[in-house]
Amino acid sequence: MVQAFDRLKESPSQTAGPYVHIGLTPNFAEIAGVYERDLGDVMVNAATKGERISVRMRVIDGLGAPLKDALVEIWQADHAGLYNSLSERRGKADPNFTGWGRKATDMTTGECVFETVKPGRVPFKDGRLMAPHLTVWIVARGINLGLHTRLYFADEAEANAEDPVLARIEHRQRVATLVAAREGDAYVFDIHLQGEHETVFFDI
Amino acid sequence: MSAERTDLRPETGAFFQRDRSWHPPALTPGYKTSVLRSPQKALLSLDNTLSEITGPVFSQELLGPLDDDLIHNFARPGESAIGERIIVYGRVIDERGKGVPGALLEFWQANAGGRYRHKKEGYLAALDPNFGGCGRTITDQDGGYAFRTIKPGPYPWPNGVNDWRPAHIHFSVFGHGFAQRLITQMYFEGDPLIWLCPIVKTIPDRAAIETLIAALDMQATIPMDARAYKFDIVLRGRRSTMFENRLEGN
């Protein structure tokens, strides 16, 4: 007999369901007075460094309809490419930037809007720089395990062209599904859960 | 929220690969909404970069005094929610069996009659004016947590003609890295609805389902007050950092 690893299995995921807002954005769900404000609602303050941006996202189902009950979280580096995390060992991230945001998609339009800063570039495992990106996590009724994707920026074409993660996408026409377009003052990003324009999702 | 906690020794290794045959697959037609909301193309595998290894930090200062008491955090002064008073407690550990300190847990649930406080919800069971249904806490140094609530009731939903959710509490969990992000549901020991539920049955393995069923714990029960259920949550483990590629400029 050899020794056992004694590893446990991860708790299996279950859908967040249609009432995810009660727990994660109770003020949005009109449950007032329990929390002062919804967690992840605000990522920046007056002292946050970097270029302010708005990101408008929708999550679209297999028939082209936007989800009106999805919850989206983003995680990103600060303007200098540092994460506000315990596992960040390269330096100290901007203390006026959380790096993490959470929004429910609007119950009428299906859109959610993040007010944040453009992230700096972060090194890949081998030291090459990745292009500026947001890590995006989506849960909703009908989604059994949260979906991970990335948002890249259309006006970072040069960086995107050398991004080691985007480079791994075999079918090159799918790269565009991860690139948010600039529209006026905002970046817009539609996440397609399935079908012709299906967004690339990651097993991270 | 701040990354300045010094009581946690940060780990920086990549997370173990997720076993996607243990989790529910995306497409589970018995749960009808999954049909149009499941990706059809293969996921792109990505061994963790810094973007997945890192994750937000939540400090105890975030918490209000009643955040872990759903019996009282929405109740009028001097009143409390109606239903079976329970304590739910356990540990957040990772696949290596290590406690996960500083993990933010958020939970939400229906009231004793199975009614959610949500404007999109139309079930005819009454709202409880003293019950909101949300709570949160942060694990201690050993990964331990506890909260007080009332036991939620089963709940009918428009999937099959006569589908009822078992009594359940939704859990959202943050570990130390964004790749550990997890939402799941806790069920109660002995509930016969568990084995009929299309959402439970999205999980292919019975042994996996059993890890979501909290056990009645009479030893942790507070006499003449509240019964206790124990629910441990396992997050992804991570590799040792010492052999990870050295990052340039580090």
CB contact (8 A) between residue B24 and residue A90: no
Does position B242 have pLDDT exceeding 70, yes or no? no
B116 is catalytic: yes
Nearest residue, CB atoms, B247 vs list A100, A127, A144: A127
The helix (run of H) or strand (run of E) holding residue A20 is: helix A20-24
| pLDDT tens digits, A118-148 | 999 999 999 999 999 999 999 999 999 999 9
Which pLDDT score, from 0 to 100, does residue B10 have?
A: 79
* Section A13-17 average pLDDT: 98
For A173, list phi and psi in degrees, rounded to 5. -65, -15
How many angstroms separate the CA atoms of B206 and B120, rounded?
32
Interface membership of A60 toward B (CB under 8 Å): no
Q: How confident is the model at residue B5 (pLDDT cuts 50, 70, 90)?
A: low
Min Cα–Cα distance to chain B from A74, Å: 9
CB contact (8 A) between residue B23 and residue A145: yes
Min Cα–Cα distance to chain B from A125, Å: 6
Q: What percent of chain A has pLDDT over 90?
A: 97
| pLDDT tens digits, A21-78 | 999 999 999 999 999 999 999 999 999 999 999 999 999 999 999 999 999 999 999 9
Does position B7 have pLDDT exceeding 80, yes or no? no
Which pLDDT score, from 0 to 100, does residue B249 have?
A: 41
Which pLDDT score, from 0 to 100, does residue B4 have?
A: 52
* Section B184-196 average pLDDT: 98
B117 is catalytic: no
Q: What is the DSSP string of chain A?
A: -PPP--PPPPPPP----TTHHHHH-TTTTT--SSSSS-TTS--B-TT--S-EEEEEEEEE-TTSPBPSS-EEEEE---TTS--SSTT--SS---TTB-SEEEEEPPTTT-EEEEEEE-----B-TTSPBPPSEEEEEEE-TT-SSPEEEEEEETT-HHHHHT-TTGGG-SSGGGGGGGEEEEETTEEEEEEE-SSTTPPP-EE-
Rg (Cα) of chain A, in Å, rounded? 18
Q: How confident is the model at residue B250 (pLDDT cuts 50, 70, 90)?
A: very low
Does position B25 have pLDDT exceeding 60, yes or no? yes
Which amino acid makes up residue B24? Answer: P
Name which of B94, B231, B102 is nearest B169 in CA terms: B231
* pTM beyond 0.80: yes
* Section B149-154 average pLDDT: 98
Q: What percent of chain A has pLDDT over 70?
A: 100
Catalytic residue among B155, B176, B187, B238: B155
How many angstroms separate the CA atoms of A128 and B249, rounded?
11
DSSP β-ladder status, B85-94 and B44-45: unpaired
Which pLDDT score, from 0 to 100, does residue B1 have?
A: 52
Interface membership of B40 toward A (CB under 8 Å): yes
Q: How confident is the model at residue A113 (pLDDT cuts 50, 70, 90)?
A: very high
Interface membership of B55 toward A (CB under 8 Å): yes
* Section B45-69 average pLDDT: 95
Does position B23 have pLDDT exceeding 60, yes or no? yes
B239 is catalytic: no
| Whether the predicted interface score ipTM is above 0.85 | yes
Q: How confident is the model at residue B66 (pLDDT cuts 50, 70, 90)?
A: very high
* Section B13-35 average pLDDT: 97
| pLDDT tens digits, B76-127 | 999 999 999 999 999 999 999 999 999 999 999 999 999 999 999 989 999 9
* Section B138-167 average pLDDT: 98
CB contact (8 A) between residue B93 and residue A8: yes
Q: How confident is the model at residue A202 (pLDDT cuts 50, 70, 90)?
A: very high
Does position B248 have pLDDT exceeding 70, yes or no? no
